């Protein structure tokens, strides 16, 4: 692993207090510097990835990037990219992606991620699993010592059929970590439905999950589970924007 740190403000200038959204934008713009004309690009989902997609749209419009093909990771990103005039395709036509840029909810010191609090984890995992480089972009609040460490949920996409049965199986799997499994609901209190017509079970764990690969395999062995939000050993680069500057961590 390698690490590079870049300061945001010139030496001697007064410190600038940036909002979380400004930090997200700084990380996103930095990631877009990795984009070259002619690339097939995985387009992430969420408020951080949105800045990257906006930036790619700007550069295309200015003629600074040409011949880009975007592979969106959600219907929302697809709509955004279409509105910006970014040419789009899918994994069926472009099974090899040059570079994907996407956010994350948690990043551990080994660059393992939790994703999916926006609900797009399945398409994100399919697209980001098919790319040569996956640049993850976060503000420093997303850094954790171990996954599950932010007190927020590990999302699991499940089929709607007998979701309570699946949720119980998931909760029992991590009983020793004090796991509580909850069905995610939308703003109207109805079950949140993913782009793939599935539900999300959020797993709240009080303690470390232990060996993450073992946890991943165990979750995926439960019939009814479609995918989970742990992205193990997938990010090749993580760009972290913080008050003191940008840190670039490479695998």
Residues of this chain that bind ligand 5RP (CB under 6 A)? 44-49, 102-105, 115-121, 124
Nearer to ligand 5RP, 15 or 197 (CB): 197
106 phi/psi in degrees, rounded to 5: -145, 145
Q: What contacts 199, CB < 8 A, 6 or more positions away? A: 157, 158, 159, 160, 163, 183, 184, 191, 192, 193
Active-site residue, selected from the candidate residues 4, 79, 106, 124: 124
Nearer to ligand 5RP, 117 or 228 (CB): 117
Least separation in angstroms between CB 79 and ligand 5RP:
15
Least separation in angstroms between CB 48 and ligand 5RP:
3
Least separation in angstroms between CB 146 and ligand 5RP:
18
> What is the rounded distance in angstroms from the CA atom of residue 104 to the CA atom of residue 24?
11
91 phi/psi in degrees, rounded to 5: -65, -25
Nearer to ligand 5RP, 61 or 186 (CB): 186
> What is the rounded distance in angstroms from the CA atom of residue 205 to the CA atom of residue 56?
37
Least separation in angstroms between CB 188 and ligand 5RP:
20
Report the phi/psi class of residue 9: left, alpha or beta, with left for phi > 0 and alpha for psi in -120 to 50. Answer: beta
Sheet of strand 225-228, all strands in order from the earlier edge strand to the far edge: 180-183, 199-204, 154-158, 225-228
Is residue 215 a contact partner of residue 229, using CB atoms and an 8 Å limit?
no
Least separation in angstroms between CB 172 and ligand 5RP:
25
Nearer to ligand 5RP, 103 or 224 (CB): 103
- Does 124 participate in catalysis according to the annotation? yes
Least separation in angstroms between CB 192 and ligand 5RP:
11
> What is the rounded distance in angstroms from the CA atom of residue 169 to the CA atom of residue 125?
23
Nearer to ligand 5RP, 14 or 229 (CB): 229
Report the alpha-carbon angle 156-195-82, nearest 5.
Answer: 135
Strand segments, DSSP code E, in 112-161 are 113-114, 131-139, 154-158
Q: What contacts 62, CB < 8 A, 6 or more positions away? A: none
Residues involved in catalysis: 124
């Amino acid at each position: 692993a390698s690490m590079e740190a870049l300061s945001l403000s010139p030496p001697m200038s007064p410190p600038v207090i940036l909002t979380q959204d400004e930090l997200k934008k700084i990380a996103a713009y930095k990631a877009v510097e990795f984009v070259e004309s002619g690339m097939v690009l995985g387009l992430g989902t969420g408020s951080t990835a949105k800045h990257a997609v906006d930036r790619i749209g700007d550069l295309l419009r200015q003629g600074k990037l040409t011949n880009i093909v975007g592979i969106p990771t959600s219907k929302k990103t697809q709509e955004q990219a279409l509105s910006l005039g970014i040419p789009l395709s899918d994994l069926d036509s472009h099974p090899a992606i040059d570079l994907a840029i996407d956010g994350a909810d948690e990043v551990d010191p080994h660059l393992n991620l939790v994703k999916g609090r926006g609900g797009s984890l399945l398409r994100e995992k399919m697209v980001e699993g098919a790319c040569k480089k996956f640049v993850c972009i976060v503000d420093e609040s997303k850094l954790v010592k171990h996954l599950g460490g932010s007190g927020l949920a590990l999302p699991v996409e499940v089929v709607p059929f007998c979701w309570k049965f699946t949720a119980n199986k998931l909760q029992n799997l991590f009983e020793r970590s004090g796991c509580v499994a909850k069905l995610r609901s939308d703003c109207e209190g109805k079950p949140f439905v993913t782009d793939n017509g599935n539900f999300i079970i959020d797993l709240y764990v009080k303690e470390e999950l232990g060996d993450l690969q073992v946890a991943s395999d165990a979750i995926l062995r439960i019939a009814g589970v479609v995918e989970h939000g742990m992205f193990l050993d997938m990010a090749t680069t993580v760009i972290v924007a913080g008050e003191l500057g940008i840190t670039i961590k490479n695998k």
